[in-house]
């Protein structure tokens, strides 16, 4: 059965993002880790960089582009349960200046997660207010801008430091207990042409349509997709300008996400961050493959079970 496994998010300031996910979402952070420190080839590049960029150019041809990239990449893994990980944070720096790259553009809009039944939503709202977090109440499954009094229950929508929207949903079924977040449910993707993206996910990944806002929300189109059991996994989020033109998807990094339960397909050599966290050791895994959708998002097809 296809399920959301984890998501990868580019960030501007890794330490700032780690603090947010630890303090606001009560997630456990592993890292930050400098990728060059865990790559044999990367360590060689590191020595060259410390001696100046002239030396780097002399040996660049014999080392993979991934190893070069590692020297300017720092990551952290975030876990809601302490076993496995849910979110991969990626910070990159400019090779010429060593300054952190800023994150911009329309990529991953956000994600949705279910809270433990022990979390009181009213108290949580007060806690977020006290923490000076940017949040709104809204109807579940949308983007935090719609609130109707007759909705059976409401979600809290909080923004991370990059402005991504995170839906915190109450557990209405009382299926899991303990902790703060019990599950990472679905990812919300900026898409340029919602109908084209919808066709891709229906035909290539065999998702089903749960809901489609159509033209009910001015300037927006929200399409929720579920797996075969009816669990929402992906939400497509399209924007249009006042003159009706679509807002183009894209931007620095173009974050990726991982789905488990897919048949093995796509590329094995995508130079993405294909990593797995053992409680004490960061290591690369080699049994994933990659496909990319109509908007250019890379989807990691996980063949392992956490």
Phi then psi for 206, rounded to 5 degrees? Answer: 60, 35
Top pLDDT among 171 and 282 is at: 171
Q: Is the pLDDT of residue 195 over 80?
A: yes
pLDDT (0 to 100) of residue 53 = 47
Question: Residue 18 burial (CB < 10 Å; 0-12/13-18/19+)?
Answer: buried
pLDDT (0 to 100) of residue 292 = 84
Render pLDDT for 104-140 as a digit per residue (tens, 0 to 9).
Answer: 888 889 999 999 888 999 999 999 999 888 999 988 8
Phi then psi for 210, rounded to 5 degrees? Answer: -95, -45
Q: What is the pTM of this model?
A: 0.85
- The answer to whether residues 259 and 3 touch, using CB atoms and an 8 Å cutoff, is yes
Q: Percent of the chain at pLDDT above 90?
A: 32
Find the helix or strand (DSSP H, E) in which 54 lies.
helix 53-59
What span, in angstroms and rounded, lies between the C-alpha atoms of 57 and 112? Answer: 44
Confidence of residue 42 (pLDDT cuts 50, 70, 90): very low
Average pLDDT taken over every residue of the chain: 81
Q: What is the mean pLDDT of residues 241-257?
A: 85
């Amino acid at each position: 059965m296809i399920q959301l496994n984890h998501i990868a998010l580019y960030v501007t300031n890794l330490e700032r993002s780690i603090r947010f996910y630890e303090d606001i979402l009560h997630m456990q952070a592993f890292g930050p880790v400098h990728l060059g420190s865990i790559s044999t080839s990367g360590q060689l590049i590191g020595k060259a960089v410390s001696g100046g960029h002239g030396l780097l150019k002399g040996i660049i041809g014999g080392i993979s582009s991934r190893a070069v990239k590692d020297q300017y990449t720092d990551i952290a893994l975030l876990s809601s349960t302490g076993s496995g990980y849910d979110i991969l944070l990626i910070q990159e720096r400019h090779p010429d200046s060593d300054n952190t790259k800023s994150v911009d553009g329309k990529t991953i809009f956000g994600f949705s997660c279910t809270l433990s039944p022990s979390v009181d939503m009213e108290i949580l709202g007060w806690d977020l207010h006290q923490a000076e977090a940017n949040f709104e109440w809204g109807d579940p499954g949308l983007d935090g801008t719609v609130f109707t009094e007759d909705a059976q229950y409401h979600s809290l929508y909080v923004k991370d430091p990059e402005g991504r929207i995170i839906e915190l949903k109450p557990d209405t079924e009382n299926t899991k207990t303990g902790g703060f977040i019990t599950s990472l449910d679905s990812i919300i993707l900026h898409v340029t042409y919602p109908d084209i993206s919808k066709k891709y996910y229906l035909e290539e990944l065999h998702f089903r349509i749960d809901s489609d806002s159509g033209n009910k929300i001015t300037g927006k189109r929200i399409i929720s997709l579920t797996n075969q059991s009816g669990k929402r996994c992906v939400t497509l989020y399209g924007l249009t300008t006042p003159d009706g033109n679509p807002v183009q998807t894209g931007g620095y990094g173009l974050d990726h996400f991982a789905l488990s339960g897919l048949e093995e397909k796509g590329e094995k050599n995508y130079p993405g961050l294909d990593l797995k966290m053992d409680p004490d050791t960061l290591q690369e895994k080699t049994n994933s493959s990659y496909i990319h959708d109509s908007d250019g998002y890379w989807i990691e097809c996980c063949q392992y079970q956490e």
